[in-house]
A and B are shown apart, each in its own frame.
Chain A
Amino acid sequence: MGVLLELKDLTKAYDTYAVVDHLNLTINEGELRCLIGPNGAGKTTTMDLITGRQKLTGGKVIFDGREINGLKEHQIVRRGIGRKFQVPAVFRDLSVRENLEVAFNRTPNPFSNMLMFFNRTDKKRFDEIVELSGLGDRLDHKAGFLSHGETQWLEIGMVLTQNPRLLLMDEPTAGMTEQETLKTSEIFKRLKGAHTLVVVEHDMTFVREIAETISVLHLGKLLAEGPMHQVENDPKVREVYLGAEGISDAA
């Protein structure tokens, strides 16, 4: 399996203070990578830099062999990078169905979309997403009326609808109940393999459940990388996460 995403000396600095500091990271095709680290480690900023939401001050983002830094957000999305935000972002005034239909981006051209109506949507793919996100009986409800967990699943569904090659998920279980977290990890296990995922997460139970490789960030730098058992016994990681208690209790 080839390399899908490569960050080379990625840097984001405000004046002299680097939020992301010469970060090197390689994500292989088909991998599920968890990005963890204490608050202020630069996890969300790293996602912002990959997706073009913030401009980097140094280094390179290479996606599928091509440099993508400098492209606009929507152009990066069209290259095949989907993103779920930390605070769930759905269209609250639109129905669940409309939310998913908007996410079906077959053409970005406004004039072609004037001639497009939803009954022609790709039914099979649509049903798959609805089944995966478990929102089948909610399709005609306004997204604003969904519960917090359902809103998160809807956004995950919307990102999946685009069929991106790389999925960036920023805290997909934030604010979820235990049951909801469990359902979310089921969704992620099904995505594994078919998609390449990078997941930022604080919930260690969830990380333990889904992760293959974990990258630990601290103060904008890569602190450690490897499978769960290796990372959680790493003394540097233990120190960063509340002294000797280790990351297992940090969540």
Chain B
Amino acid sequence: MNGQSSNIYNDPKAQWFAYIVLFGVLALIPTFGTEPFQLRVFSSYAVYAMLAVSASMVWGFGGILSLGQGIPYGLAAYCMGATMQMQFQTPDDPIPSFMLTNELNELPSVWQPFWNTSVGLILALGVPTVVMVVFGFLMFQARLAGAFIAIMTLAMLNAFYSMAQDLQPFTAGFNGISPPNAFKAFGVEVDPYSSMLYWINLGVLALVTLGSKYMLQSKFGTLVRATRDDAERVRFLGYSVAYYQIVVFVFAGLIATLAGILWVMTQQYVSPTAFETPFSIYMVIWAAVGGRHSLFGAIVAAIVLNYLQTELADISDMWQKAWLLILGGIFIAVVLLLPRGLAGMFEYLMGFIKIGGRNSSSTRVSEN
């Protein structure tokens, strides 16, 4: 759609093909006889990859530097945690044990809706979405941009972190909620160590990625990138910039929301760490290392970096402690040497393979 480009990297057909290959290969992992424990690790990588896609959408394409992608993620995770916890409780034993130790004698009213799994799932999707709509509306109507967005989202993230930490009778505070049983829906139990859960996570990852890719190729996507370039010009072409920013902010939030739900299904655990500042910054780093203008790059970077972290932690405690330094080093190296991330490097390399033999690709464009 962007005319004939000589670099195969920019060919939309080749791009779709690359995504199909990526997800196809990832889908085969359980068939290699992977250990259940290892499979669950891969399931959580799929969740991280979703968060990287979310950061790539909102920051890489939308130009909105949100350090608060942990907000929808964490809210969804807590709703899902409550839903799964209530699946364990019975009318004879209606109060989760952590509430009893916090001297609650009856189930608080905010927990009541989670008796019903469907209502719980609707809340897990709805609560973060409503929060993002309201928060986005307040920020973008006021025409906040750049570092101010980062500061606002970071402050809001920390507010949620404190709430999760301090409302101990409702959230189990620092310890977090660990539902004893796997998630059940429609009479099926989703075992976190099963290939079924892995395929669910991968399926949702593929869905949100291809959905995002589709959106980016539509006029909406071009407008979002235009807003990143020059919001004022977009405004003076007759578009409401705030409206577009709210939509892309909420959409990226929705991806993080799905990640939060799947995270709790995978780990059977949710704690205030979901709202921790470093975690939300990781998401941005994954997107940056992968190349913030590439969803593919974000996914690959999220998987590779997390794999690296797990492997290093396995070697020794020392390596685990050094991880933050290593990650920081990788981030700095990418910013200095590869400002367009791994995807940018890949694009550069593909530039040497000429198709059609037309002029150099360096000035031609097609993102995503």
Inter-chain CA distance A115–B366, complex, in Å, is: 19
Please tell me if the beta carbons of B218 and A113 are within 8 angstroms of each other in the complex: yes
Q: Are B238 and A78 in contact (CB-based, < 8 A)?
A: yes
Contacts of B228 in A (CB 8 A): 93
**B interface footprint on A135-148 (CB within 8 Å = 1, 0 otherwise):** 00001111001000
Does B134 sit within 8 A of A, measured CB to CB? no
Taking CB atoms, residues of chain B closer than 8 Å to A101 are 219, 222
Contacts of A78 in B (CB 8 A): 238
Residues of chain A within 8 A (CB-CB) of B243 are 108, 110
Q: Is the CB of B237 within 8 A of A118?
A: no
Whether a CB of chain A sits under 8 angstroms from the CB of B236 is yes
Complex: how many Å from CA A114 to CA B223?
10
CB interface residues, A 98-144, toward B, < 8 Å: 98-99, 101-103, 105, 108, 110-111, 113-119, 139-142
CB-defined contacts of A51 to chain B, threshold 8 Å = 236
In the complex, the 6 A-B pairs of residues with the closest C-beta atoms, listed nearest first: A77-B238, A140-B3, A91-B229, A113-B220, A116-B219, A89-B233
Bound form: Cα–Cα A145–B241 in Å: 25
Inter-subunit contact A140/B5 (CB<8 Å): yes
Question: Residues of B at under 8 Å CB distance from A?
Answer: 1-5, 215, 217-220, 222-223, 225-226, 228-230, 232-241, 243-244, 247, 363-367
Chain A minimum-CB-distance residue to B364: A140
Closest to B214 in A: A114
Instruction: Name A residues whose Cβ lies closer than 8 Å to a Cβ of B.
Output: 51, 72-74, 77-78, 82-83, 85, 89-95, 97-99, 101-103, 105, 108, 110-111, 113-119, 139-142, 145, 158, 162
Cβ–Cβ < 8 Å partners of A142 in chain B: 363-365
**Nearest opposing residue in chain B for A78, CB measure:** B238
Q: How far is the CA of A94 from the CA of B363 in the complex (A)?
A: 11
Which of B1, B239, B364 contacts A108, CB < 8 Å? B239
Are A73 and B235 interface neighbours, CB within 8 A? yes
Specify the chain B residue showing the minimal Cβ separation from A117.
Answer: B218
Give me 11 other A-B pairs in contact (C-beta within 8 A), A89-B233, A98-B226, A102-B226 excluded: A74-B235, A74-B237, A74-B239, A85-B232, A89-B232, A94-B222, A94-B225, A95-B3, A110-B244, A118-B219, A140-B2
Given contacts A114-B218, A145-B363, A162-B237, is CB(A91)–CB(B225) below 8 Å?
yes
Nearest B residue to A115 via CB reads B218
23 examples of A-B residue contacts, CB within 8 angstroms: A51-B236, A73-B236, A74-B238, A74-B240, A77-B236, A82-B236, A91-B225, A92-B230, A93-B229, A93-B367, A94-B226, A95-B366, A98-B222, A98-B365, A102-B234, A108-B243, A114-B215, A115-B218, A117-B1, A140-B5, A141-B364, A142-B364, A162-B237
Contact B365 A118 (CB under 8 A): no
- Report B-chain residues with C-beta under 8 Å of the C-beta of A158: 233, 237
In the assembled complex, the CB of A116 is this many whole angstroms from the nearest CB of chain B, namely 4
Q: Which residues in A have their C-beta under 8 angstroms from that of B229? A: 91-94
Which of B1, B5, B236 lies in contact with A119, CB distance below 8 A?
B1
Given contacts A108-B240, A117-B217, contact A90 B223 (CB under 8 A): no
How long is the Cα–Cα vector from A162 to B235 in the complex, in angstroms? 13
Question: Which residues of chain A are near B236, meaning CB under 8 Å?
Answer: 51, 73-74, 77, 82-83, 85, 89
Min C-beta distance of A74 to chain B, whole Å = 5
A116 adjacent to B2 (CB under 8 Å): no
B2 contacts which of A92, A95, A111 (Cβ < 8 Å)? A95
List B contacts of A145 (CB < 8 A).
363
Nearest opposing residue in chain B for A83, CB measure: B236
By a CB distance below 8 angstroms, the chain A residues around B230 are: 89-92
